[in-house]
Amino acid sequence: MLSIEQVCKTFTTEILPERASGDSRKNKKVKPVKTKILAADHINFQVKPGDIFGFLGPNGAGKTTTIRMILDILRPDTGQITWMGKRTMDIPRRSFGYMPEERGLYPKMVVDEQLIFLARLFGHDKAYVQRELDYWLERLGIAQNRKKKLEELSKGNQQKIQFLATILHDPEILIMDEPFTGLDPLNVNQLKEAFLEMHKRGKTIIFSTHQMETVEELCENIVLINKGKVLLNGNLRQIKRDTGRTVVRLAIENDPEMSWLDNIPGVAVTKRRADFVELYLTAPTSTDDLLRLVMGRGGHVLRFELAEPSLNDIFIEKVAGVSQEQDPHRYAAVAQEYLNSTTVTR
């Protein structure tokens, strides 16, 4: 088990203070002020061997710092990180495969030469590495690129090569920072399938992403951090159940807006889409009551679906501190702002 226990990390940086309003001393030098930033604040979570684990948080939450401490690139100020009871600083580097958010291969080096070189640094013989490389190049549909320089490939194919550099030395733990960023749907699907294959091989996979639907598809367990603190940690299904909310998705022919829902006690409409309206139910209205009301109106019901809250909704509510149920308009504005920020980042 990978165990992160009471881990803290503080950085000291220098920030230029803003000039006071009306200060006309343009040529006067402003001295930077030393400021401490708490990037990890008593972080606790565990990852079971063989798990596909989602490591979530907004930009600047402390995810990359925590990942670097797991890999012993950075040392925590306090707390400890262990794998199967041993400190990660005492575990051989070949036990880890790391795919950083900022990709770091050699752009002018031929693909297969650098992948073989990197894998052999961890002690594997060339024949083993060649077999694995041949398999994965075919598996990911990029065998035709093996003799090309990395810089000659598309961004999506470069990302596949970075993934191969992460796994070819057969590590126990795969840690991937934003592995799906910038990929088209076809390449995202190929990478998901590769994740599942590594999962079947018994690998422990930890990955960070802003694509919540991918986390819901692949992960049983997650941790969500913000400003260096853990906000959520545990089984994803249980986290959804703990919200205590039932989501209803409703579609009626020739009535896309269903404005009459706004007048029903206990009904909070959270989304109006072209294909359905999404709402939360609370007392005094139950799902049976709502269905009777809908049927009583005489329209043709195209969709009446009960679901759990999405991870995307839970993420935004926890990070922004705004409830979709209680304040859907503010929630929608915050959700759009978050979407814009992640799109810019990508």
Average pLDDT over residues 316-340: 69
DSSP 39: E
Q: How confident is the model at residue 20 (pLDDT cuts 50, 70, 90)?
A: low
pLDDT recorded at residue 29: 74
Residue 309 has pLDDT above 90, yes or no: no
What is the distance between the alpha carbons of residues 325 and 280, in angstroms, rounded to a whole number?
7
As a whole number, the mean pLDDT across the chain is 89
pLDDT at position 342? 59
Each residue's pLDDT tens digit, 225-277: 999 999 999 999 999 988 877 889 999 999 999 999 999 988 888 888 999 99
pLDDT at 140 over 80: yes
Query: Regarding the domain delimited by 244-307, which CATH topology (the fold level of the hierarchy) does it fall under?
Result: Alpha-Beta Plaits (3.30.70)
> What pLDDT score was predicted for residue 344?
45
Please determine, for residue 322, whether its predicted confidence score (pLDDT) is greater than 80.
no
Write out the DSSP string of 133-199: HHHHHHHTT-GGGTTSBGGGS-HHHHHHHHHHHHHTT--SEEEEESTTTT--HHHHHHHHHHHHHHH
Q: What is the mean pLDDT of residues 70-89?
A: 95
pLDDT classification of 332: cutoffs 50, 70, 90 = low
Asked whether the beta carbons of 253 and 304 are under 8 A apart, the reply is no
Q: Where are the domains positioned within the chain?
A: 2-16+32-240, 244-307, 311-345
DSSP 286: -
Same fold, 2-16+32-240 and 244-307: no
Identity (one letter) of the amino acid at 6? Q
**Across the beta sheet with 277-281, what order do the strands follow?**
267-272, 277-281, 247-252, 301-307
Average pLDDT of 127-134? 95
Arch. (CATH architecture) of 2-16+32-240 = 3-Layer(aba) Sandwich (3.40)
Question: At residue 207, does pLDDT exceed 90?
Answer: yes
Q: Tell me how far apart the alpha carbons of residues 8 and 69 are, in angstroms, rounded to a whole number.
A: 10
Tell me the longest C-alpha to C-alpha distance in the chain: 75
Please identify which residue in the block is written with the tokens 């070189």: 117
Residue 345 has pLDDT above 50, yes or no: no
Please return the burial class of 264, using the count of CB atoms within 10 Å of its CB with bins 0-12, 13-18 and 19+.
middle
What pTM did the predictor assign? Answer: 0.84
22 pLDDT exceeds 60?
no
